Structure 1
Amino acid sequence: MARLKYLVLHCTATPEGREVTAADIRRMHLSPVSAGGRGWKQVGYTDIIHLDGKVERLVDNNEDANVDPWEITNGARGYNSVSRHVVYAGGCDSSMNPRDTRTPAQLKAMEAYVKDFHRRFPEVRIIGHNEVAAKACPSFDVQKWLRSIGIYQ
Structure 2
Amino acid sequence: MDASKVKYIVIHCADTPPELDIGAAEIDRWHKQNGWDGIGYHYVIRRSGVIESGRPLDINAAPGWQTVTGAHVAGMNSQAIGICLVGGRHGKPDFSGQQRESLWLLVETLKRIAPEAEVVGHRDLDKGKTCPGFDVRAWWANRGQHGAG
TM-score w.r.t. the length of structure 2 is: 0.85
Given that residues 8 and 81 in structure 2 are in contact (C-alpha distance below 8 angstroms), is that contact kept between their aligned partners in structure 1? yes
Please tell me the residue identity of whatever aligns with 1:80.
Answer: N
1:52 maps to which of 48, 55, 63: 48
Give 1:148 shift: 2.0
- How many residues were matched structurally? 139
C-alpha separation in 2, matches of 1:142 and 1:69: 29
What is residue 111 of structure 2 aligned with on the other side?
Answer: 118
The share of aligned pairs that are identical, in percent, is 29
Given that residues 17 and 51 in structure 1 are in contact (C-alpha distance below 8 angstroms), is that contact kept between their aligned partners in structure 2? no
2:125 maps to which of 128, 132, 150: 132
What is residue 30 of structure 1 aligned with on the other side?
Answer: 32
1:95-114 C-alpha deviation (Å, 9 max, x unpaired): xx210011000011001111
Please tell me the residue identity of whatever aligns with 2:70.
Answer: T
Root mean square deviation of aligned Cα: 2.1
Higher strand share: 1
What is residue 64 of structure 1 aligned with on the other side?
Answer: 60
Please tell me the residue identity of whatever aligns with 2:134.
Answer: F
Please tell me the residue identity of whatever aligns with 1:111.
Answer: W
1:148 maps to which of 134, 142, 146: 142
Give 1:18 shift: 1.3
**Partner SS state of residue 86, structure 1:** strand
C-alpha separation in 1, matches of 2:49 and 2:66: 29
**Partner SS state of residue 102, structure 2:** helix
Please tell me the residue identity of whatever aligns with 1:20.
Answer: I
Please tell me the residue identity of whatever aligns with 2:8.
Answer: Y
